[in-house]
Each structure stands twice: as C-alpha cells, then as structure tokens.
Structure 1
Amino acid sequence: MPRSEMTVGELIDQLSACDPSTPVQLAMNPFVPMAHRLEQVVPATDASGRAVVYLAEGRDADTQLGHLPPEVAVLLAWQGPVQAPPRRPRRTAGGK
C-alpha cells in the first residue's frame, strides 16, 4: 500500500498542540538516528509539477545536534525498546 504524504494542514494541526516557543528539530536516518536543527520552510514545486513544502536543516556546522534520544527512536519505530545488556567487568591478567 502506498504511503501518503503529510500535508501542510496536518503538520499545522499537529504543531498547534505544541507550545509555540518550543524549538523544532528534524529526526533523520533511522539506521543512525540523529537530530538536526530546522532552519527553513521552503514552498516549491517537485519534478512532476506538484506543490510541495520542504523542511530544511541549516548549513552551519552545528546544525546536526547529535544522536536522537533513544526514546524518540523507539516512538518512531526506528529502534526496538530493548536496551543492550550491561557489560560485565573484564577479567584481569591474574585470572580474577
């Protein structure tokens, strides 16, 4: 089944439930989830002539904010809710 694209109206509806002073970030790359600073909203036309709106990250070196919090990656279904088991202490040369 083809996936439907989010519309500007749906985005506005979802954002209207948030505090307007909250920063907006992009969650990108489900295999290595990272957070990016959103800088621009660009209305344009795609290759088929259809109107689209692009959300763009900034160009500055600090636009990538780092790893996405694990709980966000889980909510996006990019990662499972299972955490790696704790590491055991290493053995010493004396065999203890």
Structure 2
Amino acid sequence: MPSSEMTVDNLIDLLSACDRSAPVRQAMNPFFPMAHRLAQVVQSVDETGRAVVYLAEGRDPDAQLGHLPPEAAIALTWQGPVQAPPRRPRRRAGGN
C-alpha cells in the first residue's frame, strides 16, 4: 500500500520550484488558519522504527505570525473563495 505522506524527496522537489530566498512558514489548523515561522528540522524515528523528519516552529514568542493570508488558505483548500454579498439598492428618505 503506497504511503500518502509527503517524503523529504517530495518536499525537496516542491521547494526546488520556489524562490530560494523566500522565508519558510508553516500553515497550521485548517479551521483557524495560522502562519508560523519554522526554526528547526529534526530527524527521528516513529513507533515502527521508520525515519521521520519534523519541521518545528521556534520557541520565540513571535513564532506564530498571525492569520494565514486568505489566498494561501484558499490554495490549500482550507477555505473557499469569499465573495462579497450582492449589493441591494439603497433606501431613500421617505421610504422609497
């Protein structure tokens, strides 16, 4: 059964198409999307003994940067594009 998890090789391939000088951020929590600074990459093993790489945010109080930009949340399909509600005609003085 093939794994649906992203591998380091997949991550390297995806990152190779990005601007090498761009900061790396982690998007978390699809229901309340937030952006975090990455500070560490740690390799360990899981409970089955398989190698696993963890991307971790820093301990700095400003590691959580705030809300994820809407365009990023939309690209991640964590939220749909939001459209402004249709405008209703303004009511005039006198009830017309």
* TM tier relative to shorter chain: 0.7 to 0.9
Cα displacement (A) at 1:81: 0.7
Report what 1:59 is aligned to. 59
Quick one: percent identity of the two aligned structures?
75
Cα displacement (A) at 1:3: 6.5
Report what 1:6 is aligned to. 6
Q: After TM superposition, which residue ranges in structure 1, 4 or more long, deviate above 3 angstroms?
A: 83-86
Mapping of residues 25-40 of structure 1, within 5 Å: 25-40=25-40
Q: Which moved further from structure 2: 45-54 or 75-84?
A: 75-84
Report what 1:47 is aligned to. 47
Report what 1:75 is aligned to. 75
The higher radius of gyration belongs to 2
Change in Cα spacing, 1:3 to 1:71, as seen in structure 2 (3 Å) is farther
The separation in 2 between residues aligned to 1:72 and 1:23, in whole angstroms, is 15
Task: Please give the TM-score of this superposition, normalised by the length of structure 2.
Answer: 0.82
Q: Which amino acid is the alignment partner of residue 79 of structure 2?
A: Q
Cα displacement (A) at 1:85: 3.5
The separation in 2 between residues aligned to 1:64 and 1:83, in whole angstroms, is 28
RMSD of Structure 2 on Structure 1 (CA): 1.9
Q: Which runs of 5 or more structure 2 residues have no equivalent in the other structure?
A: 87-96
Q: Which runs of 5 or more structure 1 residues have no equivalent in the other structure?
A: 87-96
Task: Please give the TM-score of this superposition, normalised by the length of structure 1.
Answer: 0.82
The separation in 2 between residues aligned to 1:31 and 1:84, in whole angstroms, is 21
Q: Which amino acid is the alignment partner of residue 50 of structure 1?
A: R
Counting matched residue pairs gives 86
